[in-house]
Structure 1
Amino acid sequence: MQTTTLSFTNLHNYGELFANFFRARRQSFIIQRNWDLPQTDGMEFDQYDTPQSRWVAVHDGSTVLAGMRLTPTTASCGIYSYMIRDAQRGILGGSIPQDLLYDEAPVDEQTWEATRLFVAHDVPQSIRRRVHGQLVDTMVTCARGVGATRLLSLNGDYWPRVFSRCKIDAQAIGRLCWIDDGYYQCTAINLASKMH
């Protein structure tokens, strides 16, 4: 099992991994969860998959086991910034409620957003904890590498247990809300305690 942080500047080094990452997202979000998201050529994507973002992939060769996206809260592309903030501002017009945060979504160079967290449905139960751990560890390393001291994340209601097992300091910063297929909640992940 390997972990790779992908960006537009290094994706040429990883062959099919970048495309397979988006194929795995399609399988997870469109096929398994039946979410109505953009797709083409068997890949799921949205307006936040820009050169400003980074993508963390846990993989076995070119087979993607898990992944997530990191986007700076200072991001700007047309009318869009980052998903949590745009949902709060009512720009998305979809199933994510505007009142998903207790406070106003930040725009801060040291705060990044972590979204589209997934573990492939066919990852065996015997290695799922290890996959979660690799995903979270690489997320932290990547975030620290871009200068983040805090992450915002919109997670399924089981992710707080994963963060706790990985000794991640995550606090709820919004209400538990039903989105499409389950309960989700915004959390703030404090990376300051992980700085060495």
Structure 2
Amino acid sequence: MQTTTLSFNNIHAHGPLFADLLRARHKTFIEHNKWDLPAADGMEFDQYDTPASRWVAVHHNGRIMAGVRLTPTTHRCGIYSYMIRDAQLGLLDTIPSDLLYEPAPVAEHVWESSRVFVCHDVPAKMRMRVQMQLIGEMVRSARELGASTVLGLIPANSPRLARRVGLDCVAAGPVMDIGGSDSVCVNISMQTKMH
């Protein structure tokens, strides 16, 4: 099993990995979760998949197993900044605007984590290992990008997993039903040591 952090600067060196990641997002979010999201050629994408973002992929023998997108909270593209902030500002009709207790941060040391997934066909006996690989690579990449905090909209049961691996994960908003599943915004400190 491998982990790779993709950027527009290195996509060319990884063959079809980026397209495969977007196809796995399509299977997860559109086909399985039935979310109404933009798609083309069997790939899911949105306005936050820009050269400012990074994409973490867990993969094995050409198969995507899990992924997450990291976006700087300082980025802007037209009227959009990052998903959580744009939802709070009322720019997204699919995510409630009251998802955070405080105003969404805009700071160089804070990055957003979004589109977190583990493919549904990953066997139960491998899921924890895949999740650990995903979290580990996300933390490594975020730290390299200068993040001391990652703000994420994640499944409501994920903070327990984060704490199990040594991440300091604190709710930044209430648990909400988003797209048919319980989700919560969290602040994840990049200062803690994973084990």
TM-score of the pair, normalised by structure 1: 0.97
- Counterpart of 1:155 in structure 2 is 154
- Counterpart of 2:37 in structure 1 is 37
Where does 1:53-132 land on structure 2 (aligned, <5 Å)? 53-92=53-92, 94-132=93-131
SS at match of 1:25: helix
Identity %: 55
**Deviation per residue, 1:106-154 (Å, 9 max, x gap):** 0000000000000000000111000000000000000000000000000
Partner Cα separation in structure 2 for residue 20 and residue 141 of structure 1 = 22
- Counterpart of 2:145 in structure 1 is 146
CA contact (8 A) 2:166 2:192 kept: no
SS at match of 1:138: helix
Partner Cα separation in structure 2 for residue 22 and residue 189 of structure 1 = 25
Partner Cα separation in structure 2 for residue 151 and residue 87 of structure 1 = 17
CA contact (8 A) 2:3 2:56 kept: yes
- Counterpart of 1:14 in structure 2 is 14
1:62: how far off?
1.9
Bigger shift: residues 52-61 or 157-166: 157-166
SS at match of 1:3: strand
1:192: how far off?
1.7
Runs of 4+ in 1 over 3 A off after TM superposition: none
- Counterpart of 1:5 in structure 2 is 5
The count of residues paired between Structure 1 and Structure 2 equals: 194
SS at match of 1:192: coil
- Counterpart of 2:192 in structure 1 is 193
Structural RMSD (CA):
1.0
CA change 1:38–1:10 in 2 (3 A) is same
TM-score of the pair, normalised by structure 2: 0.98
1:19: how far off?
0.3
| Residue 166 (1) aligns with residue 165 (2) | yes
Unaligned runs of 5+ residues in structure 1 are none
Unaligned runs of 5+ residues in structure 2 are none
